[in-house]
Amino acid sequence: MQYNPGWTNSSVNLLHVRAVGPNDTLHYVWSSIGAPAVLLVATASRTSALRINWTQLLSPAPAGAVWIDPPASVVYSTAIVFTKVFEYSEAESLEELFYPTYDLSDFSWDSINRTLNHTALTAEFTGVPATDPSGSFSNGSVAFRVTAYEASGRDGPLPSLLHTANSSKVEFVLAGVAPRGNSSRFALEVATVEETGVAQKLRSARSIDDEYTPTIFETLSLVAESHNDSAALSFLQWKATAYGSRTPRREDSIRCRSRGLQAANWTLPVSSIVHAYFGEGGGSTYTISAINISFGGEDGKVYQEKRYLSWSALLGFGQPPKDTFSPLVISIVAVALGTPLAMLLVGSGLVLFAQRKRYSDYEPIN
């Protein structure tokens, strides 16, 4: 993990996470320059390196300021941008009333240098609006907590996401922000940037196995697929839940909904790191898709009570991890289905034995 490689000023944040495999390298470039974003680049070289022209990156025209060396080693690249936070409430006419949007590209972000943990492979981007006329952020903030992984495993805290060494986690946290309505709900807009020839698809998987995330039976994945062979190139995966506590428990669950993936007809999100890598070729060299992920119960009062909301997602390369039935659930199902079957077989055997024994007591009639 490298913080602002080649730059000594901590007034901006850029975190480079580099994972080296036997014959390849995965690059994750997180940044809060502009809207918070992560650039994902897979290369076919163990020695590929991130290059940054800092003067150009921090200029009004950053296109071309970020690249991977050697360029020919790049086999796939994509980006995920967290663009906006919406706050809304439902009026008596069942129409949604939206308050002024929080544009994350207009936020002021703390230096992540003080939260960077090279042992745990974690860092935290914390920000507040540059201007806050409503005073909602006087005691609150928005944060994006980043975690990298060295091996496969499962997170301990809920929602206990299953991960591999090819993935990382991001946790969106809304803490202490005063709602502007009596039953406010929040939504996070997430944009993806893909090269031409790649399409985003939203998948939903349901399972009766909720051992690791109690009462949550749905997992959603935003998967980038190649038009040529439908192979999964990258993913953003999350459970259909958020939590209203710093130490989440089942009762702290907040309903999470995904409001349809759509092709975005606007220009590249205001994020210097993404603009710096992909350039100006919107529509010709890359495409943009966006999805809104909303949080809140039926009455919208979960956040109102605790003033805390956290939502976790996994992102990485290739197919998203897929949960299989755990040994505990397999044992329970086996007992639940096997016990009645065993009782039926034993009962049938006893009946047949009893019938045979009863008829054997009779002597043949002369």
Residues 191 and 259 grouped into a single domain: yes
Judged by DSSP in three states, 318 sits in: coil
Q: Is 340 in the same domain as 203?
A: no
| pLDDT higher than 80, residue 122 | yes
Domain of residue 83 covers 2-324
- Angle of CA points 154, 155, 156, to nearest 5°: 115
Asked if residue 286 lies in contact with residue 277, where contact means CB atoms within 8 angstroms, the answer is no
Query: From CA 68, how far away is CA 277, in angstroms rounded?
Result: 9
Residue among 211, 238, 229, 162 nearest 330 (CA): 211
pLDDT of res. 171: 98
Q: Are residues 197 and 169 in the same domain?
A: yes
Which run of H or E residues covers position 217? Answer: none
Q: Count the neighbouring beta carbons within 10 Å of the beta carbon of residue 208.
A: 8
Give 39-77 pLDDT, tens digit per residue: 999 999 999 999 999 999 999 999 999 999 999 999 999
* pLDDT at residue 173, rounded to an integer: 98
pLDDT exceeds 90 at position 79: yes
Q: Specify the DSSP class assigned to residue 100.
A: P
Number of domains in the chain: 2
Whether residue 218 is found in the same domain as residue 349: no
Q: Which residue has the higher pLDDT, 363 or 118?
A: 118
Shared domain for 260 and 350, answered yes or no, is no
At 27 the pLDDT is 98
Altogether, the residues listed in the chain come to a count of 366
Q: Say if residue 306 is in the same domain as residue 340.
A: no
Whether residue 302 is found in the same domain as residue 202:
yes
Averaged pLDDT of the chain: 89
For residue 333, pLDDT over 80 is answered with no
Please compute the mean of the pLDDT values over residues 166-191 and round it to a whole number.
Answer: 94
Q: Are residues 315 and 342 in the same domain?
A: no
Same domain flag for 209 and 346: no
- Looking at 324, 340, 357, the residue that finishes a domain is 324
Cβ atoms within 10 Å, residue 139: 11
The mean per-residue pLDDT over the stretch 2-17 comes to 95
Same domain, 264 and 352: no
Question: Residue 330: what pLDDT?
Answer: 60
Tokens of 258: 């995904």
271 secondary structure, DSSP code: B
pLDDT digits (tens, 9 = 90+) for 254-269: 989 998 899 887 777 7
pLDDT at position 110 over 90: yes
**Do 204 and 313 sit in the same domain of this protein?**
yes
**What is the average per-residue pLDDT within 280-285?**
72
pLDDT band with cut points at 50, 70 and 90 for residue 89: confident
Give the per-residue pLDDT at 363: 65
Residues 248 and 288 grouped into a single domain = yes
Checking if the pLDDT of 93 tops 60, the result is: no
CATH number at residue 11: 2.70.98
Q: Is the pLDDT of residue 281 over 90?
A: no
